[in-house]
Structure 1
Amino acid sequence: MTNRMTSQDSKTEPRKPQLTDFSRYKVCDSYCNPPSATDTPAGGRHRLSRRQLEELDACLKAKDKKALLAIQRHRYLITGQVQRLVFTETATSTAALRAASRCLKKLKELGLIDTLSRRIGGVRAGSGSLIWYLSHAGERLLRLHDQKEAANRRFFEPSPYFLAHTLAVAEVSIQLTELCRKYQMELAELQPEPECWRSYSERGICLSLKPDLYAITVSGEYEDRWFLKIDLDTESPTKVIEKCRRYHQYYRSGLEQKESGVFPLTVWIVPDTDRKQHLLEHIRAAFDKQPRLFAVITAEELEELIRQGGEGDMLC
């Protein structure tokens, strides 16, 4: 679990930010925009030579590279998410969004990123509905200073569910960054998948634990560790329980405790309160009288969890 004690801070709490509800990325809220005859996928553009990439690398601004790294880290991001990660020092949110749009447009023209045909939020969302991903040239540019060479993989449009889940995971990652920035907490570690996956064995069989995110947050003298699972209400409670059993198996292995001294709290982040209550009932029934390794929250409760360490009605 975590080693956070219940906060006794009696100061007036700052106004709660309006956090984006990741459930809006679900399949029914997205639409496909058929590519026009003039659109050319990034993967199909003329291949840039290493010399050309080095020249581009020298010309890119710091925020250009931060935007590329953010998209690489999260696989797919919408314009507003890039803005919240990279363009945080602009006077107004409108100006920040415009700056992000200009940056992304520039990177696309250079062939370093491109957009999916699928968008989020409908046609009225405009450029804010675009979903960005790193092109092969962008991958190669970021690897100029590495020994590895970017794999020459053929690009395929992601499935609607995979895209919705990836954007939802990115949203939680961004919210963690924003919350730690707002409350002057330290986000000591934030690992996306597959970096956050764990390997262990059960009865001689090699198994994998696959959280969506692993995070360490530090507030004063207290440090909390989290495994985060993003649920879009697409799996039955039985399937969720099967995944929870993996966390109990990994807990019993003692590997995580040996490494860090504590076992992270596994947090299921769900779209609404009905789903929350449904999962709480099933998890509590399945793991009665066993260590309470899990919490189930809605996206709106993430701030309370990170600041206070969770309450009894979240834990199971």
Structure 2
Amino acid sequence: MSRRGHAARLRDKLSDRDMAILRDLEALRLLTGKQLRRLHFPDGDPVTQARKVRATLKRLSDLGVIVRLSRRVGGIRAGSEGFVIGLSGWGHAVLGLDSPVPRRHRRVVETKPAFQAHVLAVADLYVGLVEHARTGSSELLEFAGEPEAWRRFGGLGGQAITLKPDAFVRLGVGDYELASFIEQDMATESLPTIVRKLAVYVTYWRTGQEQQTHGVFPRVWWLVPSAARLQAVAQSISRVPSEARALFSVCLTTDALPSLTQLEHEGGAL
């Protein structure tokens, strides 16, 4: 049987929720069992939710469309919720059935804990935004992770430059639409690296490319893990040319949802 034929047979065994789980894994790269529960099993008591997650992950693993990495988060008592889950090659093949052309996919391998922690932090922002939207307080219009959120543009010398935010978010809040680039900071990058990335944002803003395409330049949010890191990043932002300083904001990761949805920061800079 051909690879496409086997993928089609797998697809026939998957429910709509199974497919939604695969699409989230494709977009976010990694998710924990807990994050998958929050996204796809929001109803019922915790015991019932946990049982459904375990059964679903076992079935998807047995079908070979997901892989479970060896690392756990949340300690040894976290159960299935503590496992880190990724999309397998067959999972990508199933999703590729809807694509008119073959798509490249990233192979899930055992990665360093620091990389996994960063990917899962971005995923947690997405989960939080989905949950916030369920309350009716906002509408999640778009969430693009890497590399879909990246922007490619030409520098002053004609060289190709790629701006690499961790995510791009578009939210509907009341009558407003809020656009944001996300930098999920884990306090692992040096401050000179932060300053260089700020400069790339300013260069991209000055091209007018984003404004011409979308009508506004998204606010750039640095989400940081501690008050000390917040102060350090804020000081780096203060070194940006004054006319571009309003592009940037910084907040604690724990304050991301109220910060991203507050109307006094609507849109971005023209």
TM-score in terms of structure 2 length: 0.90
Aligned-residue offset at 1:151: 5.3
1:269 aligns with 2:223: yes
1:258-300 deviation digits (Å, cap 9, x = unpaired) = 112211100000111111112112221x125232111111122
Q: Distance in 2 between matches of 1:87 and 1:141?
A: 22
Distance 1:153 1:306, change over 3 A: closer
1:247 aligns with 2:185: no
Structure 1 unaligned spans of 5+:
1-46, 312-316
Amino acid aligned to 1:171:
D
Task: Please say which structure displays the higher CA radius of gyration.
Answer: 1
**Aligned equivalent of 1:293:** 247
Match of 2:212 among 255, 258, 278: 258
Q: Residue 79 of structure 2 aligns with which residue?
A: 126
Superposition TM-score, scaled by structure 1 size: 0.77
**1:82-121 CA distances to partner (integer Å, 9 max, x unpaired)?**
1111122x22233223212211111001111111122222
**Matched residue, 1:191:** 144
- Tell me the distance in 2 between the aligned counterparts of 1:168 and 1:310: 25
Does residue 1:97 correspond to 2:71, yes or no? no
SS in 2 for 1:278: helix
Q: Identify the structure with bigger relative contact order (alpha carbons < 8 Å, sequence gap 6+).
A: 1
* Aligned CA distance change for structure 1 residues 151 and 250 (closer, same or farther; 3 Å): closer
Equivalent residue letter for 1:293: L
* CA distance in 1 between partners of 2:104 and 2:241 (Å): 47
Change (3 A) 1:97 1:148: farther
CA displacement, residues 39-86 of structure 1 (integer Å, 9 cap, x when unaligned): xxxxxxxx9854343233222221111111111211111101111111
Q: Give the fraction of aligned pairs with identical amino acids, expressed as a percent.
A: 34
Corresponding residue for residue 304 of structure 1:
258
For residue 193 of structure 1, give the secondary structure of its aligned residue in structure 2: coil
Identify unmatched segments of 5+ residues in structure 2: 266-270
Change (3 A) 1:49 1:259: closer
Q: How many residues align?
A: 263
Give the superposition deviation at 1:122.
2.4
